A and B are shown apart, each in its own frame.
Chain A
Amino acid sequence: MKNASLFEPIIEADAPKVRVTFDGHNYKLPQGMSLAAGLLSAGLRSLRKTPVSGAPRGPFCMMGACFDCLVEIDGVTRQACMVEVREGLVASPAGPKEGV
Protein backbone atom coordinates (compact mmCIF):
# COMPACT_ATOMS: atom_id res chain seq x y z
CA MET A 1 0.00 0.00 0.00
CA LYS A 2 2.85 2.34 0.78
CA ASN A 3 3.64 2.98 -2.82
CA ALA A 4 0.07 2.98 -4.09
CA SER A 5 -0.19 6.22 -5.98
CA LEU A 6 -2.10 9.02 -4.35
CA PHE A 7 -2.58 10.79 -7.64
CA GLU A 8 -2.65 8.91 -10.91
CA PRO A 9 -2.49 10.08 -14.52
CA ILE A 10 -5.90 10.10 -16.23
CA ILE A 11 -4.34 9.21 -19.54
CA GLU A 12 -1.19 7.17 -19.75
CA ALA A 13 1.31 9.92 -20.05
CA ASP A 14 3.84 9.43 -22.79
CA ALA A 15 5.60 12.63 -21.83
CA PRO A 16 9.34 12.13 -21.70
CA LYS A 17 10.57 11.46 -18.18
CA VAL A 18 13.40 13.12 -16.33
CA ARG A 19 15.49 11.73 -13.50
CA VAL A 20 14.97 13.41 -10.16
CA THR A 21 16.43 12.59 -6.76
CA PHE A 22 14.38 13.38 -3.69
CA ASP A 23 15.49 12.56 -0.17
CA GLY A 24 18.09 10.15 -1.56
CA HIS A 25 15.64 8.18 -3.73
CA ASN A 26 15.57 8.25 -7.51
CA TYR A 27 12.40 8.91 -9.48
CA LYS A 28 11.53 9.19 -13.14
CA LEU A 29 8.98 11.98 -13.39
CA PRO A 30 7.12 13.31 -16.42
CA GLN A 31 8.62 16.43 -17.91
CA GLY A 32 6.56 19.59 -17.47
CA MET A 33 5.23 18.63 -14.04
CA SER A 34 5.94 20.56 -10.92
CA LEU A 35 8.13 18.70 -8.46
CA ALA A 36 5.19 18.47 -6.03
CA ALA A 37 2.87 16.97 -8.67
CA GLY A 38 5.59 14.60 -9.83
CA LEU A 39 6.30 13.31 -6.34
CA LEU A 40 2.57 12.91 -5.63
CA SER A 41 2.24 10.86 -8.81
CA ALA A 42 5.16 8.73 -7.59
CA GLY A 43 3.14 7.90 -4.48
CA LEU A 44 4.74 10.27 -1.99
CA ARG A 45 2.47 11.97 0.48
CA SER A 46 4.72 13.82 2.86
CA LEU A 47 7.57 16.00 1.62
CA ARG A 48 8.98 17.17 4.94
CA LYS A 49 8.52 17.33 8.70
CA THR A 50 7.45 20.54 10.39
CA PRO A 51 10.06 22.36 12.46
CA VAL A 52 7.66 22.84 15.39
CA SER A 53 6.30 19.34 16.09
CA GLY A 54 8.01 17.17 13.51
CA ALA A 55 4.66 16.29 11.94
CA PRO A 56 4.75 15.11 8.31
CA ARG A 57 3.53 17.61 5.70
CA GLY A 58 2.61 17.30 2.06
CA PRO A 59 1.47 19.71 -0.64
CA PHE A 60 -1.78 21.48 0.28
CA CYS A 61 -2.63 24.32 -2.14
CA MET A 62 -0.51 23.58 -5.24
CA MET A 63 -0.55 27.30 -6.05
CA GLY A 64 2.40 28.67 -4.15
CA ALA A 65 0.39 30.07 -1.26
CA CYS A 66 0.59 27.66 1.70
CA PHE A 67 4.32 26.87 1.79
CA ASP A 68 3.60 23.35 3.04
CA CYS A 69 5.52 21.80 0.14
CA LEU A 70 8.90 23.27 1.09
CA VAL A 71 11.96 21.39 -0.15
CA GLU A 72 15.61 22.22 -0.37
CA ILE A 73 17.31 22.54 -3.74
CA ASP A 74 20.97 23.59 -3.99
CA GLY A 75 20.88 24.75 -0.40
CA VAL A 76 17.89 27.03 -0.99
CA THR A 77 14.37 26.44 0.36
CA ARG A 78 11.83 26.25 -2.48
CA GLN A 79 8.16 25.50 -2.96
CA ALA A 80 7.96 22.13 -4.70
CA CYS A 81 4.69 23.12 -6.39
CA MET A 82 6.42 26.08 -8.06
CA VAL A 83 9.50 24.23 -9.35
CA GLU A 84 9.32 22.29 -12.60
CA VAL A 85 11.16 18.97 -12.67
CA ARG A 86 14.30 18.83 -14.79
CA GLU A 87 16.86 16.16 -15.57
CA GLY A 88 19.22 15.67 -12.66
CA LEU A 89 17.25 17.74 -10.16
CA VAL A 90 18.28 16.90 -6.60
CA ALA A 91 15.98 17.94 -3.78
CA SER A 92 15.54 17.05 -0.14
CA PRO A 93 12.91 17.76 2.51
CA ALA A 94 13.18 21.28 3.89
CA GLY A 95 13.90 21.96 7.51
CA PRO A 96 15.69 20.08 10.22
CA LYS A 97 17.07 16.73 9.10
CA GLU A 98 16.33 13.71 11.17
CA GLY A 99 19.14 12.80 13.54
CA VAL A 100 20.88 16.14 13.14
Chain B
Amino acid sequence: MKKYDLAIIGAGPAGLAAAAEASAAGLTVVMLDEQARSGGQIYRDVERAAPTRGTILGEDYLHGLSLIGATRAERVTYMPRTTVWDITPDGELSYTRDGRADCLQAKRLLIATGALERPMPLPGWTLPGVMTAGAAQILLKQSGLISRRAVLVGSGPLLYLVAVQMVRAGAPPLALLETQGLIVGPARHLPRALMGWRVLAKGMGLLAELRQAGVSRHKRVREISIEGEGQVGKVRFEAKQTMHEISCDTVLLHHGVVPNIQASRALRLEHDWDAGQDCFRPRIDDWGRSSARNIFIAGDGAGIGGAIAAEHAGRLAAFEIARDLGRMVVAERDRRAVPTRRALAKEHVVRPFLDAAFPRYSEALADDTIVCRCEEVTAGEIRRAAALGCTGPNQSKAFNRAGMGPCQGRYCGLTVNRLLAEANGASPEATGYYRLRPPIKPVTLGELAQMKQPDGLEKTA
Protein backbone atom coordinates (compact mmCIF):
# COMPACT_ATOMS: atom_id res chain seq x y z
CA MET B 1 0.00 0.00 0.00
CA LYS B 2 1.30 3.46 -0.91
CA LYS B 3 2.10 5.63 2.11
CA TYR B 4 2.00 9.40 2.47
CA ASP B 5 2.36 11.92 5.25
CA LEU B 6 -0.93 13.57 4.37
CA ALA B 7 -3.95 12.55 2.33
CA ILE B 8 -6.31 15.32 1.29
CA ILE B 9 -9.80 14.49 0.07
CA GLY B 10 -11.05 17.27 -2.16
CA ALA B 11 -9.15 19.62 -4.49
CA GLY B 12 -11.22 22.75 -3.91
CA PRO B 13 -9.74 25.91 -2.37
CA ALA B 14 -9.31 24.26 1.07
CA GLY B 15 -7.56 21.17 -0.28
CA LEU B 16 -5.42 23.05 -2.80
CA ALA B 17 -4.18 25.63 -0.28
CA ALA B 18 -3.41 22.89 2.25
CA ALA B 19 -1.54 20.86 -0.36
CA ALA B 20 0.63 23.83 -1.29
CA GLU B 21 1.59 24.58 2.32
CA ALA B 22 2.11 20.96 3.30
CA SER B 23 4.34 20.35 0.32
CA ALA B 24 6.31 23.51 1.05
CA ALA B 25 6.86 22.19 4.58
CA GLY B 26 8.32 18.99 3.15
CA LEU B 27 5.40 16.59 3.60
CA THR B 28 4.48 13.99 1.04
CA VAL B 29 0.91 14.67 0.03
CA VAL B 30 -1.72 12.81 -1.93
CA MET B 31 -4.79 14.80 -2.98
CA LEU B 32 -7.78 12.87 -4.29
CA ASP B 33 -10.82 14.36 -6.01
CA GLU B 34 -13.62 12.69 -7.86
CA GLN B 35 -13.79 15.47 -10.42
CA ALA B 36 -11.77 15.31 -13.61
CA ARG B 37 -10.18 18.69 -12.90
CA SER B 38 -9.17 20.58 -9.78
CA GLY B 39 -10.78 23.71 -8.35
CA GLY B 40 -13.66 22.30 -6.33
CA GLN B 41 -17.14 23.70 -6.70
CA ILE B 42 -16.22 27.36 -6.96
CA TYR B 43 -13.18 27.17 -9.23
CA ARG B 44 -14.50 24.24 -11.20
CA ASP B 45 -12.49 23.77 -14.38
CA VAL B 46 -10.97 27.25 -14.05
CA GLU B 47 -7.91 26.42 -16.10
CA ARG B 48 -9.96 25.38 -19.13
CA ALA B 49 -12.81 27.86 -18.74
CA ALA B 50 -10.78 31.00 -17.96
CA PRO B 51 -9.76 31.87 -21.53
CA THR B 52 -13.26 31.58 -23.02
CA ARG B 53 -15.67 32.22 -20.16
CA GLY B 54 -13.58 34.16 -17.67
CA THR B 55 -15.46 37.44 -18.00
CA ILE B 56 -18.84 35.76 -17.61
CA LEU B 57 -17.78 33.89 -14.51
CA GLY B 58 -16.04 36.86 -12.94
CA GLU B 59 -12.93 37.87 -11.03
CA ASP B 60 -13.65 35.77 -7.96
CA TYR B 61 -13.70 32.71 -10.18
CA LEU B 62 -10.43 33.59 -11.85
CA HIS B 63 -8.77 33.82 -8.42
CA GLY B 64 -8.80 30.03 -8.56
CA LEU B 65 -5.95 30.14 -11.08
CA SER B 66 -3.65 31.16 -8.21
CA LEU B 67 -4.41 27.94 -6.33
CA ILE B 68 -4.42 25.12 -8.84
CA GLY B 69 -0.63 25.09 -9.19
CA ALA B 70 -0.70 23.01 -6.00
CA THR B 71 -1.68 19.99 -8.06
CA ARG B 72 1.74 20.14 -9.70
CA ALA B 73 3.75 21.06 -6.60
CA GLU B 74 6.70 19.02 -5.45
CA ARG B 75 5.87 15.98 -3.33
CA VAL B 76 2.17 16.34 -4.23
CA THR B 77 0.49 13.40 -5.92
CA TYR B 78 -2.77 14.69 -7.37
CA MET B 79 -5.34 12.07 -8.24
CA PRO B 80 -8.30 13.38 -10.25
CA ARG B 81 -11.31 11.20 -11.16
CA THR B 82 -10.77 9.44 -7.85
CA THR B 83 -13.75 8.79 -5.63
CA VAL B 84 -13.00 8.10 -2.00
CA TRP B 85 -15.54 5.67 -0.58
CA ASP B 86 -14.06 4.57 2.70
CA ILE B 87 -11.87 6.18 5.32
CA THR B 88 -10.66 4.57 8.51
CA PRO B 89 -9.65 6.49 11.65
CA ASP B 90 -6.12 5.15 11.31
CA GLY B 91 -5.64 6.79 7.95
CA GLU B 92 -6.49 4.17 5.38
CA LEU B 93 -8.37 5.46 2.34
CA SER B 94 -10.20 3.30 -0.17
CA TYR B 95 -11.01 4.78 -3.52
CA THR B 96 -12.01 4.04 -7.08
CA ARG B 97 -10.19 5.48 -10.05
CA ASP B 98 -11.06 4.68 -13.65
CA GLY B 99 -13.01 1.61 -12.66
CA ARG B 100 -10.36 0.22 -10.31
CA ALA B 101 -10.51 0.22 -6.54
CA ASP B 102 -7.39 0.62 -4.46
CA CYS B 103 -6.28 1.96 -1.10
CA LEU B 104 -3.53 4.01 0.42
CA GLN B 105 -2.32 4.96 3.86
CA ALA B 106 -1.54 8.39 5.29
CA LYS B 107 -0.32 9.58 8.69
CA ARG B 108 -2.78 12.46 8.69
CA LEU B 109 -6.04 13.05 6.81
CA LEU B 110 -7.59 16.28 5.71
CA ILE B 111 -11.23 16.14 4.72
CA ALA B 112 -11.87 19.05 2.36
CA THR B 113 -15.01 17.81 0.67
CA GLY B 114 -16.83 21.14 0.70
CA ALA B 115 -20.53 21.84 0.71
CA LEU B 116 -23.74 20.54 -0.78
CA GLU B 117 -26.69 22.59 -1.70
CA ARG B 118 -29.29 22.69 1.07
CA PRO B 119 -32.17 20.47 0.02
CA MET B 120 -35.16 22.58 -1.03
CA PRO B 121 -38.21 20.31 -1.20
CA LEU B 122 -41.15 21.84 -3.04
CA PRO B 123 -44.12 20.36 -4.83
CA GLY B 124 -42.76 19.26 -8.19
CA TRP B 125 -39.04 19.49 -7.36
CA THR B 126 -38.39 16.01 -8.71
CA LEU B 127 -39.56 16.88 -12.25
CA PRO B 128 -36.89 16.74 -14.95
CA GLY B 129 -35.81 20.34 -15.55
CA VAL B 130 -35.63 21.21 -11.86
CA MET B 131 -32.02 21.52 -10.83
CA THR B 132 -29.95 23.25 -8.21
CA ALA B 133 -28.59 26.69 -9.04
CA GLY B 134 -25.16 25.19 -8.49
CA ALA B 135 -25.89 22.63 -11.20
CA ALA B 136 -26.61 25.43 -13.67
CA GLN B 137 -23.33 27.01 -12.67
CA ILE B 138 -21.49 23.75 -13.18
CA LEU B 139 -23.03 23.43 -16.66
CA LEU B 140 -21.82 26.92 -17.44
CA LYS B 141 -18.33 26.56 -15.95
CA GLN B 142 -17.59 23.09 -17.17
CA SER B 143 -19.54 22.77 -20.40
CA GLY B 144 -20.42 26.31 -21.47
CA LEU B 145 -24.13 25.43 -21.44
CA ILE B 146 -26.94 27.71 -20.39
CA SER B 147 -30.71 27.45 -20.17
CA ARG B 148 -32.67 30.16 -21.97
CA ARG B 149 -35.97 29.64 -20.17
CA ALA B 150 -34.99 29.32 -16.54
CA VAL B 151 -36.50 30.67 -13.35
CA LEU B 152 -34.29 30.99 -10.27
CA VAL B 153 -35.95 30.26 -6.93
CA GLY B 154 -34.76 30.70 -3.36
CA SER B 155 -32.41 33.00 -1.51
CA GLY B 156 -28.78 33.80 -0.88
CA PRO B 157 -25.79 35.46 -2.52
CA LEU B 158 -25.12 32.48 -4.77
CA LEU B 159 -28.56 32.90 -6.32
CA TYR B 160 -27.67 36.45 -7.37
CA LEU B 161 -24.27 35.34 -8.60
CA VAL B 162 -25.76 32.64 -10.80
CA ALA B 163 -28.36 35.12 -12.11
CA VAL B 164 -25.64 37.59 -13.03
CA GLN B 165 -23.52 34.91 -14.68
CA MET B 166 -26.56 34.01 -16.79
CA VAL B 167 -27.08 37.67 -17.72
CA ARG B 168 -23.45 37.99 -18.76
CA ALA B 169 -23.73 34.81 -20.81
CA GLY B 170 -26.58 36.42 -22.74
CA ALA B 171 -29.38 34.30 -21.26
CA PRO B 172 -30.88 36.22 -18.33
CA PRO B 173 -33.22 34.18 -16.14
CA LEU B 174 -36.92 34.72 -16.87
CA ALA B 175 -37.37 35.74 -13.25
CA LEU B 176 -35.84 35.58 -9.80
CA LEU B 177 -38.24 34.35 -7.12
CA GLU B 178 -36.78 35.38 -3.78
CA THR B 179 -38.04 33.70 -0.67
CA GLN B 180 -36.37 35.80 1.99
CA GLY B 181 -37.90 38.82 3.70
CA LEU B 182 -36.49 42.32 3.71
CA ILE B 183 -32.74 42.24 3.81
CA VAL B 184 -32.62 45.20 6.20
CA GLY B 185 -34.29 42.91 8.75
CA PRO B 186 -31.36 41.50 10.65
CA ALA B 187 -30.06 44.97 11.49
CA ARG B 188 -28.38 43.77 14.67
CA HIS B 189 -25.81 42.00 12.50
CA LEU B 190 -25.23 44.96 10.25
CA PRO B 191 -22.51 46.85 12.13
CA ARG B 192 -20.27 43.78 12.24
CA ALA B 193 -21.17 42.93 8.70
CA LEU B 194 -20.06 46.34 7.54
CA MET B 195 -16.54 45.25 8.39
CA GLY B 196 -17.03 42.74 5.66
CA TRP B 197 -18.04 45.56 3.37
CA ARG B 198 -16.23 44.08 0.42
CA VAL B 199 -18.64 41.16 0.37
CA LEU B 200 -21.62 43.45 0.78
CA ALA B 201 -20.41 45.80 -1.94
CA LYS B 202 -20.04 42.84 -4.24
CA GLY B 203 -23.61 41.86 -3.45
CA MET B 204 -24.85 45.35 -4.24
CA GLY B 205 -22.91 45.25 -7.51
CA LEU B 206 -24.63 42.01 -8.45
CA LEU B 207 -28.06 43.48 -7.70
CA ALA B 208 -27.27 46.54 -9.81
CA GLU B 209 -26.27 44.31 -12.69
CA LEU B 210 -29.57 42.43 -12.44
CA ARG B 211 -31.53 45.66 -12.35
CA GLN B 212 -29.72 46.96 -15.42
CA ALA B 213 -30.45 43.78 -17.29
CA GLY B 214 -34.12 44.15 -16.41
CA VAL B 215 -34.39 40.77 -14.66
CA SER B 216 -37.71 40.67 -12.88
CA ARG B 217 -37.44 39.97 -9.17
CA HIS B 218 -40.33 38.79 -7.04
CA LYS B 219 -39.73 39.14 -3.33
CA ARG B 220 -41.08 37.30 -0.31
CA VAL B 221 -42.38 34.57 -2.53
CA ARG B 222 -44.48 31.81 -0.95
CA GLU B 223 -46.61 28.82 -1.98
CA ILE B 224 -44.15 27.80 -4.67
CA SER B 225 -44.97 24.80 -6.80
CA ILE B 226 -43.49 23.45 -9.98
CA GLU B 227 -45.79 21.84 -12.50
CA GLY B 228 -45.55 20.01 -15.78
CA GLU B 229 -46.25 16.77 -17.59
CA GLY B 230 -43.14 14.65 -17.25
CA GLN B 231 -40.97 17.77 -17.21
CA VAL B 232 -41.06 21.34 -15.98
CA GLY B 233 -43.74 23.43 -17.68
CA LYS B 234 -44.30 26.27 -15.26
CA VAL B 235 -43.74 27.53 -11.77
CA ARG B 236 -46.58 28.93 -9.64
CA PHE B 237 -46.14 31.13 -6.58
CA GLU B 238 -47.67 33.77 -4.42
CA ALA B 239 -46.16 37.24 -4.09
CA LYS B 240 -47.85 40.35 -2.75
CA GLN B 241 -51.00 38.36 -2.02
CA THR B 242 -51.39 37.40 -5.69
CA MET B 243 -50.83 34.07 -7.38
CA HIS B 244 -48.46 34.20 -10.32
CA GLU B 245 -47.47 31.72 -12.97
CA ILE B 246 -44.41 31.67 -15.21
CA SER B 247 -43.94 29.23 -18.11
CA CYS B 248 -40.41 27.90 -18.21
CA ASP B 249 -38.49 24.72 -18.91
CA THR B 250 -35.91 24.97 -16.15
CA VAL B 251 -36.28 25.82 -12.48
CA LEU B 252 -33.09 26.39 -10.51
CA LEU B 253 -33.36 26.04 -6.75
CA HIS B 254 -31.03 27.44 -4.13
CA HIS B 255 -31.35 28.47 -0.53
CA GLY B 256 -27.86 28.17 0.76
CA VAL B 257 -25.22 25.51 1.05
CA VAL B 258 -24.54 23.20 3.99
CA PRO B 259 -21.45 21.19 4.95
CA ASN B 260 -21.01 17.89 3.16
CA ILE B 261 -20.72 15.66 6.23
CA GLN B 262 -20.82 12.25 4.56
CA ALA B 263 -17.19 11.44 5.36
CA SER B 264 -17.11 12.94 8.84
CA ARG B 265 -20.34 11.16 9.78
CA ALA B 266 -19.20 7.82 8.42
CA LEU B 267 -16.08 8.25 10.56
CA ARG B 268 -18.30 8.79 13.63
CA LEU B 269 -16.66 12.12 14.37
CA GLU B 270 -18.40 14.50 16.78
CA HIS B 271 -20.88 16.91 15.18
CA ASP B 272 -22.78 19.87 16.57
CA TRP B 273 -25.91 21.62 15.49
CA ASP B 274 -25.14 25.12 14.21
CA ALA B 275 -28.29 27.15 14.88
CA GLY B 276 -27.05 30.18 12.92
CA GLN B 277 -26.40 28.15 9.78
CA ASP B 278 -29.24 25.75 10.44
CA CYS B 279 -27.22 22.59 9.84
CA PHE B 280 -24.88 20.09 11.46
CA ARG B 281 -21.16 20.65 11.33
CA PRO B 282 -18.27 18.50 12.51
CA ARG B 283 -16.62 19.68 15.71
CA ILE B 284 -13.11 21.04 15.05
CA ASP B 285 -10.55 23.09 16.95
CA ASP B 286 -9.04 26.27 15.57
CA TRP B 287 -6.52 24.30 13.49
CA GLY B 288 -9.23 22.20 11.93
CA ARG B 289 -8.53 19.09 14.05
CA SER B 290 -11.63 16.93 14.44
CA SER B 291 -12.58 14.79 17.41
CA ALA B 292 -10.17 12.18 16.03
CA ARG B 293 -6.55 13.27 16.54
CA ASN B 294 -5.26 12.41 13.09
CA ILE B 295 -8.18 13.73 11.10
CA PHE B 296 -8.57 17.36 10.09
CA ILE B 297 -11.40 19.10 8.29
CA ALA B 298 -11.11 22.39 6.41
CA GLY B 299 -13.32 24.51 4.20
CA ASP B 300 -17.07 24.46 3.79
CA GLY B 301 -17.17 20.85 4.97
CA ALA B 302 -16.48 22.14 8.48
CA GLY B 303 -19.04 24.96 8.35
CA ILE B 304 -19.95 27.37 5.59
CA GLY B 305 -17.44 30.20 5.28
CA GLY B 306 -17.02 30.62 1.54
CA ALA B 307 -14.14 30.05 -0.82
CA ILE B 308 -11.60 32.48 0.64
CA ALA B 309 -12.22 31.23 4.17
CA ALA B 310 -11.81 27.67 2.88
CA GLU B 311 -8.41 28.54 1.48
CA HIS B 312 -7.18 29.99 4.78
CA ALA B 313 -8.61 27.14 6.82
CA GLY B 314 -6.75 24.73 4.55
CA ARG B 315 -3.50 26.56 5.27
CA LEU B 316 -4.03 26.51 9.05
CA ALA B 317 -4.64 22.77 8.98
CA ALA B 318 -1.48 22.27 6.91
CA PHE B 319 0.63 24.27 9.40
CA GLU B 320 -0.58 22.20 12.34
CA ILE B 321 -0.20 18.91 10.46
CA ALA B 322 3.37 19.92 9.55
CA ARG B 323 4.07 20.72 13.20
CA ASP B 324 2.46 17.49 14.30
CA LEU B 325 4.69 15.48 11.98
CA GLY B 326 7.79 17.31 13.11
CA ARG B 327 8.24 19.37 9.96
CA MET B 328 7.56 22.74 11.52
CA VAL B 329 8.39 24.10 14.97
CA VAL B 330 5.63 25.56 17.10
CA ALA B 331 6.95 29.11 16.81
CA GLU B 332 7.02 28.87 13.03
CA ARG B 333 3.52 27.44 12.88
CA ASP B 334 2.21 30.23 15.07
CA ARG B 335 4.05 32.92 13.15
CA ARG B 336 2.55 31.74 9.88
CA ALA B 337 -0.87 31.40 11.39
CA VAL B 338 -1.12 35.08 12.34
CA PRO B 339 -1.85 36.63 8.92
CA THR B 340 -3.89 33.58 7.93
CA ARG B 341 -6.10 33.87 11.00
CA ARG B 342 -6.51 37.59 10.40
CA ALA B 343 -7.66 36.95 6.84
CA LEU B 344 -9.96 34.17 8.00
CA ALA B 345 -11.57 36.39 10.62
CA LYS B 346 -12.29 38.97 7.94
CA GLU B 347 -14.22 36.36 5.96
CA HIS B 348 -16.13 35.16 8.99
CA VAL B 349 -17.27 38.60 10.06
CA VAL B 350 -19.93 38.90 7.38
CA ARG B 351 -21.34 35.38 7.84
CA PRO B 352 -23.83 35.98 10.67
CA PHE B 353 -25.33 38.76 8.59
CA LEU B 354 -25.59 36.61 5.48
CA ASP B 355 -26.99 33.68 7.48
CA ALA B 356 -29.66 35.91 9.02
CA ALA B 357 -30.43 37.84 5.84
CA PHE B 358 -30.92 34.75 3.70
CA PRO B 359 -32.63 32.13 5.82
CA ARG B 360 -33.75 28.89 4.26
CA TYR B 361 -37.20 28.72 2.67
CA SER B 362 -39.15 27.50 5.66
CA GLU B 363 -42.73 27.26 4.52
CA ALA B 364 -44.45 24.19 5.96
CA LEU B 365 -44.21 21.22 3.63
CA ALA B 366 -47.48 19.78 2.37
CA ASP B 367 -47.94 16.13 3.32
CA ASP B 368 -47.71 14.98 -0.28
CA THR B 369 -44.43 16.74 -1.06
CA ILE B 370 -41.56 14.33 -1.68
CA VAL B 371 -38.68 14.88 0.73
CA CYS B 372 -36.49 11.86 -0.09
CA ARG B 373 -35.90 12.02 -3.83
CA CYS B 374 -34.32 8.57 -4.08
CA GLU B 375 -37.05 6.56 -2.40
CA GLU B 376 -39.87 9.05 -3.04
CA VAL B 377 -40.83 9.35 0.61
CA THR B 378 -43.20 12.24 1.37
CA ALA B 379 -43.34 14.73 4.24
CA GLY B 380 -46.55 13.05 5.35
CA GLU B 381 -44.82 9.68 5.70
CA ILE B 382 -42.14 11.24 7.91
CA ARG B 383 -44.82 12.87 10.06
CA ARG B 384 -46.65 9.56 10.35
CA ALA B 385 -43.42 7.97 11.52
CA ALA B 386 -43.15 10.68 14.19
CA ALA B 387 -46.73 10.00 15.26
CA LEU B 388 -45.78 6.35 15.71
CA GLY B 389 -42.96 7.28 18.05
CA CYS B 390 -40.04 7.88 15.70
CA THR B 391 -37.66 10.42 17.24
CA GLY B 392 -34.74 10.63 14.81
CA PRO B 393 -33.79 10.22 11.15
CA ASN B 394 -31.90 7.03 11.78
CA GLN B 395 -34.83 5.42 13.52
CA SER B 396 -37.17 6.54 10.75
CA LYS B 397 -35.52 3.93 8.53
CA ALA B 398 -37.64 1.38 10.37
CA PHE B 399 -40.78 3.20 9.20
CA ASN B 400 -39.95 4.16 5.63
CA ARG B 401 -37.02 4.16 3.26
CA ALA B 402 -36.06 7.83 3.55
CA GLY B 403 -32.29 8.15 3.41
CA MET B 404 -31.75 4.58 2.27
CA GLY B 405 -31.39 5.32 -1.43
CA PRO B 406 -28.15 5.90 -3.33
CA CYS B 407 -27.70 9.54 -2.21
CA GLN B 408 -27.48 8.32 1.38
CA GLY B 409 -29.49 11.21 2.75
CA ARG B 410 -27.48 13.99 1.14
CA TYR B 411 -30.67 15.62 -0.15
CA CYS B 412 -33.11 14.61 2.58
CA GLY B 413 -31.21 14.36 5.87
CA LEU B 414 -31.75 17.93 7.01
CA THR B 415 -35.38 17.93 5.86
CA VAL B 416 -36.16 14.72 7.73
CA ASN B 417 -34.39 16.11 10.80
CA ARG B 418 -36.51 19.24 10.67
CA LEU B 419 -39.81 17.43 10.07
CA LEU B 420 -39.20 15.05 12.98
CA ALA B 421 -38.01 17.86 15.27
CA GLU B 422 -41.13 19.89 14.46
CA ALA B 423 -43.49 16.96 14.86
CA ASN B 424 -41.94 15.87 18.14
CA GLY B 425 -41.35 19.34 19.55
CA ALA B 426 -37.69 18.39 19.94
CA SER B 427 -34.50 20.27 19.09
CA PRO B 428 -32.67 19.47 15.85
CA GLU B 429 -29.71 18.44 17.97
CA ALA B 430 -31.68 15.92 20.00
CA THR B 431 -33.34 14.68 16.82
CA GLY B 432 -29.98 13.86 15.28
CA TYR B 433 -29.03 12.56 11.88
CA TYR B 434 -28.66 9.38 9.86
CA ARG B 435 -26.02 6.97 10.99
CA LEU B 436 -23.92 6.77 7.86
CA ARG B 437 -21.96 3.70 6.98
CA PRO B 438 -19.24 3.24 4.42
CA PRO B 439 -19.04 3.13 1.50
CA ILE B 440 -19.82 6.85 1.33
CA LYS B 441 -19.93 6.52 -2.46
CA PRO B 442 -21.05 3.38 -4.26
CA VAL B 443 -18.41 0.89 -5.25
CA THR B 444 -19.12 -2.07 -7.47
CA LEU B 445 -18.17 -5.68 -6.90
CA GLY B 446 -16.17 -5.59 -10.11
CA GLU B 447 -14.13 -2.68 -8.79
CA LEU B 448 -13.61 -4.39 -5.46
CA ALA B 449 -12.50 -7.57 -7.16
CA GLN B 450 -9.62 -5.64 -8.69
CA MET B 451 -8.32 -4.33 -5.41
CA LYS B 452 -4.69 -5.13 -4.93
CA GLN B 453 -4.92 -5.47 -1.17
CA PRO B 454 -6.82 -8.54 -0.15
CA ASP B 455 -7.14 -7.18 3.40
CA GLY B 456 -8.97 -4.19 1.93
CA LEU B 457 -11.56 -6.59 0.61
CA GLU B 458 -12.11 -8.25 3.93
CA LYS B 459 -12.61 -4.95 5.63
CA THR B 460 -15.36 -3.71 3.35
CA ALA B 461 -17.11 -6.99 2.79
Contact = CB atoms under 8 A, between A and B. Distances in A.
B250 interface: yes
Contacts of B56: 10
Given A6-B249, A34-B142, A45-B129, A56 B230 contact: yes
Nearest to B253: A60
Contact of A41 (B34, B131, B145): B145
Interface string A47-90: 10010110111111111111110100000110000101000000
B143 A41 contact: yes
Most chain B beta carbons < 10 A, residue from A46, A56, A57, A66 = A66
Interface in B130-156: 130-132, 134-135, 138-140, 142-148
B365 interface: no
A2 B170 CA distance: 23
B373 interface: yes
B269 interface: no
Given A40-B139, A61-B134, A76-B446, A66 B144 contact: no
Q: Do most interface residues of chain B lie in helix, strand or loop, or is the interface mixed?
A: loop
Contacts of A65: 116, 260, 407, 410-411
A100 interface: no
Nearest to A50: B376
A59 B252 CA distance: 12
B146 A10 contact: yes
A64 B34 contact: yes
B143 A8 contact: no
Contact of B129 (A34, A52, A58, A67): A58
A46 B128 contact: yes
A60 B130 contact: yes
Contact of A10 (B171, B250, B442): B171
A35 B426 CA distance: 43
Interface residues of B, number: 51
Q: Do most interface residues of chain A lie in helix, strand or loop, or is the interface mixed?
A: loop
B389 interface: no
Interface string B236-252: 00000000000001100
A57 B370 CA distance: 13
A61 B376 contact: no
A34 B147 CA distance: 17
A58 B128 contact: yes
Contacts of A37: 139, 142-143, 145
A10 B132 contact: no
A27 interface: no
Given A10-B169, A34-B142, A37-B142, A62 B129 contact: no
A9 B306 CA distance: 28
B257 to A, nearest CB: 11
Contact of A46 (B48, B53, B231): B231
B134 A62 contact: yes
B410 A7 contact: no
Contacts of B231: 45-46, 56, 58
Contacts of B405: 67
26 contacts: A7-B146, A8-B148, A8-B171, A9-B145, A10-B53, A10-B169, A13-B144, A32-B48, A33-B142, A37-B143, A40-B145, A46-B230, A52-B376, A53-B376, A57-B128, A58-B231, A59-B131, A61-B116, A61-B132, A62-B134, A62-B138, A63-B116, A63-B138, A65-B410, A66-B410, A82-B83
Q: What 5 pairs across the A-B complex have the smallest Cβ distances?
A: A58-B128, A62-B135, A67-B406, A45-B128, A7-B145
Interface of B: 34, 36, 41, 48, 52-53, 56, 83, 116-117, 126-132, 134-135, 138-140, 142-148, 169-171, 230-232, 249-250, 260, 373-376, 405-407, 410-411, 441-442, 444, 446
Interface of A: 4, 6-11, 13, 30, 32-34, 37-38, 40-41, 45-47, 50, 52-53, 55-68, 70, 76-77, 82, 84
Given A45-B129, A63-B135, 7 more contacts: A6-B129, A9-B146, A37-B139, A37-B145, A45-B249, A56-B231, A60-B135
